[in-house]
Amino acid sequence: IRVSTQEVDLLQMGEVMTYNKAYRNNKLITTDYNGIYLVENGLKRPFPSGVVFSSHGYTLANVIRVSTQEVDLLQMGEVMTPKINP
């Protein structure tokens, strides 16, 4: 919905919203496939290679594109390691 500047000016300023780091937990994220991360406990865990990514059974269809700003809000976690199938 488009509103005029005058309408927006009628609204009171609220509290600054913070980023919910758990919002993307257990999701795969990327910024234009420039590195893919698994978000766990609010941390971004990078995949060091396509082989490691595939070993977890993931495909690019599982990856959500997000802004660079969103990725930058997450602290770096441990690098993903290959999943060993028994």
The pLDDT value recorded for residue 86 is 65
Looking at beta carbons, which pairs linking 48-55 to residues 24 or more positions away fall under 8 Å? 48/79, 48/80, 51/82, 52/80, 52/81, 52/82, 53/80, 55/82, 55/83, 55/84, 55/85
The pLDDT value recorded for residue 53 is 97
Statement: residue 85 has pLDDT above 80: no
The pLDDT value recorded for residue 78 is 98
pLDDT tens profile 26-61: 999 999 878 999 999 999 999 999 999 999 999 999
